[in-house]
Structure 1
């Protein structure tokens, strides 16, 4: 298409060629402003949902304007025969520089693309409690197109590049429904009273301030237990009980689980319910000394 346009401009005078350059520049400017207008509206909506500063995305609009400017210059240089040779020389030298720059900024560009995907697909928002992979977890404080800032339970900020987040599994404890069911597993001895142990776990859990009643109205009418406890394993030396306890969010669930582990252990000790632990019995055998008889 550019070659056809160049053939048409080849036989025209200098005045028409200058007019073509002016029209191309004005058109590129108008297209750039139009795209920036729609991008500003789109990014503002995304910023409001993520509760971040919309100026974080201003560089993206500038990058689009720069791209349009490059396309406009290519059209001008390739359409006018007198400028074509100059344009080829400039493009050859710029190509080498672009290759070096592209190689150096490959990781940064990957972070930007991953940040755009986070903005579009919204796997988490500011204020969500998430876990990235197996190492990092905490509350999301800020999301930019380069990195995400997480405040962990130790009140330390973890800055994770968006490209790393895109390649990891994300566990979001706050999305849609923040309620969480905590699994509390405790082993008791085979000679211990199972029903008594279950009753202790249920009573202590119901008395904890962080417990949440997740039963439906139908479950309440049927008088189903608020804290379900099941025997989930018959091990080599213990019977494993699992309690299903609900809390409003992961933070309260963690505190409740820690408190119950302590209170259940103390109550089991008072009621004589054993919590087995690995132990070994060592038998020492003393051999009789060998008697040597002389002949």
Structure 2
């Protein structure tokens, strides 16, 4: 059934999120209906079912209390499908810790595949109360910040030139400039001085990639290549250090 749902969604060029949720809901309803049919088809089980229904009043409070969280997950899952803060295939970050690609949305939980190829299973009620960062919902392009500090004795212009050259040579970089910006001479990679810190001048390069994955790889590559180019061109990247002064005690014999 799962494969049939995916094929149908692809064939109709539709969002697979609704299909996945419908598949899970239908599977749950079919399971309940089958259980009921089995109980009523077998006389021995039917008598047991009648006994269970007779005692339902006693168990109602216990079951109701125990199913509050489950019902909350179902309602939250329905809201996710209706309002679509994310869809199957979107790259999202939930709260401060969980991020990855949405694989499935069930009645109870949402399955996310993280960059380590592990599945993070999060109850829908938890997701509904968290802040969601969606990198795919409208425009998958991502602007990564590559920040590097240089010493006050190094040339800012030379450092900017090196950072721009390294960024423009990276295969994951995309050009997001409009025709007007190109005509006006706006640089493909914008680099700005964003801070005069205690021991460094902090430069930030704005580099664009097609998606979050490519942006992460590009940022890692650029940190390495820019650091190596700085070393070749005598541009210092400062690091914390301490100076120790030893004072001779003149009164000591």
Question: Does the 8 A contact of 1:179 with 1:247 survive in 2?
Answer: yes
Structure having the higher Rg: 1
Structure 2 unaligned segments of length 5 or more: list them.
1-13, 34-52
Alignment partners' CA distance in 1, 2:175 and 2:19: 31
CA distance in 2, matches of 1:132, 1:253: 19
2:190 corresponds to which of 210, 225, 228: 228
Match of 1:157 among 119, 131, 138: 119
Residue 194, structure 1, aligned to residue 156, structure 2: yes
Residues 131-176 of structure 1, C-alpha deviation per residue, up to 9 Å, x if partnerless? Answer: 0101110011111111010010000011111011111110000111
Q: Of 265, 288, 295, which residue of structure 1 is paired with 2:250?
A: 288
Residues 246-285 of structure 1: pairs in structure 2 closer than 5 A = 246-285=208-247
TM-score (norm 2): 0.81
Paired residues for 1:102-117 under 5 Å: 102-117=64-79
1:90-129 alignment to 2 at 5 Å?
94-129=56-91
Q: What is the CA–CA distance in structure 1 between the aligned matches of 2:122 and 2:151, rounded to whole Å?
A: 45
Residue-by-residue CA offset, 1:229-288 (whole Å, 9 max, x unaligned): 001111111001011111000000000000000000000000000001111101111213
Matched, 1:142 2:104: yes
CA RMSD after TM alignment? 2.5
What is the aligned residue count? 223
| Deviation per residue, 1:39-70 (Å, 9 max, x gap) | xxxxxxx97444526331127768xx9xxxxx
Task: Say which structure is richer in helix.
Answer: 1
Q: Return the alpha-carbon distance in structure 2 between the equivalents of residues 255 and 150 of structure 1.
A: 20
Equivalent-residue separation in structure 2 for 1:53 and 1:47 (angstroms): 11
Question: Relative contact order: is structure 1 or structure 2 higher (C-alpha 8 Å, sep ≥ 6)?
Answer: 2
Structure 1 residue 215 corresponds to structure 2 residue 177: yes
Match of 1:56 in 2: 24
